[in-house]
Amino acid sequence: MTKYPARQHALNVKKHLKTKIKDLSDYALFLSGSFQESYKYSDTAKVFRQERYFYYLTGCNVPSSHVFYDLNKEELILFLPEIDYDDVMWSGMPLSLEEAQKKFDVDKVLYERDIDNYLVKYDINLTTDINQSNKKYSNFLKQSDKRLFYALDESRLIKDDYEISLMRKAAQITDNSHLAVMSALPIETNETHIHAEFVYHSIRQGSKHQAYDPICCAGPNCGTLHYVKNDDSMEGRSSVLIDAGAEWENYCADVTRCFPISGVWTPEHIDIYNAVLDMQSQTMAMIKPGASWDEIHLKAHKVLIDNFLHLGIFKGDKDEIFKSHVSTAFFPHGLGHLLGLDTHDVGGYPNYNDADPKLRYLRLRRDLQQGMVVTDEPGIYFSPYLIELAMKQPEQAKFIQTDVVEKYLPIGGVRIEDDILVTADGYDNLTGITSDPDEVAAIVQKGRSRDPSHFHNVV
């Protein structure tokens, strides 16, 4: 397959839409892509990010484009913006209709001037929302229909072979960039250096955009789940956590690795690292079609409790500890989420009002299906804020050995995250960068054995 399978994606959406709307004879779809924005009071352009629902139906990254899908004829039509000849001297000629027809898997490619001729064909043209890209056509459009979002989300939920190939590429780039970070400690004395090293190696491999802002932290900062300051000194600290993923053709990788700055694990760091690795290995073994993600997530909490009892962080009966929800003070987030065109991809149906605090922040609340890509990312964190909240609740505080907890505070936190494709009989781990603690330490030590002059480091 040489083209992004846009027509098959459109058929997927139609199939799911028919489960909600039996008679589609009066319906069509019209989606608009993102437009190129500039910063306010400036002619400097923002980084362009294509609207993901539009991309799913087109595979097109051209700003200010639109797509019409005739549900009855099953005809997919891409509309490109009119040529701005004043811009040609600055930006060059845009993609021609002929070039676009060869590049994209659509039935027709036309200019925007022809849109009206198609929008008058059907009584109802479903769109996601009225925005700056499509407001001129608002009289023809019906926005925010939940049935359309359902069809789009259910279609994007299951990845086809072409999408999986893009995600494998994003994962491979991400693997190499994580390896580069682990290997360059002689020139990494600040969290910013970790950030720079990852992005530099991603761009060198052709990934110009990150799937999300990298999280690069050392020591106690690792206890903040989405720490993105990335500007603190690493001096006097022993642990690093980097959560970073490259993007390839709009598809995301999302990987977290932790390592010892010196190349030698401290006893406290390896205690927690092995506990998280245990959480991940036991939950990953449960991944297969039909498995309940809720149950897999709760298994991670049970494994944490077993490890904390062994380390002396918790005391008491493990069943009572589980019922008290005290484990959420150390593992407050969900085990993982769907991954695809977005880092937190659509179709997971989270319930952020769940009465169970162990499930409240779980972004995927459904059984696994073949073709889903999910992250498996257990973590253990020593956040003074979360620990203080737990200590204010007697039903939780009675299980916490505060004197033992204190010796783990300098670590901040450990998270291990891999990207997992659900297969017919289990799973395929798309992430290749090692998480074995001995291998991680060996990579760091090998890098530290090199003189800083070994690295391309101008400043």
Reported as a single tens digit per residue, the pLDDT across 270-310 is 999 999 999 999 999 999 999 999 999 999 999 999 999 99
401-407 contact pairs (CB < 8 A, 24+): 401/312, 401/313, 401/314, 401/315, 404/311, 404/312, 404/313, 405/313, 407/268
DSSP label at residue 435: -
Q: Does domain 161-454 have CATH number 3.30.930.10?
A: no
Give the bridge partners for 400, in sequence order: 314
CATH superfamily name and code, 6-157 = Creatinase/prolidase N-terminal domain (3.40.350.10)
Does the pLDDT at position 224 exceed 80? yes
What is the pLDDT confidence band of residue 434, given thresholds at 50, 70 and 90?
Answer: very high
259: closest CA among 180, 145, 332, 327? 180
Q: Are strands 239-244 and 255-260 parallel, antiparallel or unpaired?
A: antiparallel
Q: What is the mean pLDDT of residues 187-196?
A: 98
Average pLDDT, the chain: 97
Model confidence band, residue 456 (pLDDT cutoffs 50, 70, 90)? confident
Angle at 61 between CA 57 and CA 62, to 5 degrees: 110
Report d(CA 50, CA 351) in Å as an integer.
Answer: 27
pLDDT digits (tens, 9 = 90+) for 127-163: 999 999 999 999 999 999 999 999 999 999 999 999 9
Is residue 413 within 8 A of residue 223, CB to CB? The reply is: yes
pLDDT at 423 over 70: yes
pLDDT at 370: 98
What does the domain layout of the chain look like in residue ranges? 6-157, 161-454
Average pLDDT over residues 31-37: 97
Q: What is the pLDDT of residue 275?
A: 99
Residue 1: pLDDT band with limits 50, 70, 90: low
Indicate the pLDDT class of residue 341, thresholds 50, 70 and 90: very high
Residues above pLDDT 70, as percent of the chain: 100
Global pTM reads: 0.97
Whole-number pLDDT of residue 103: 98
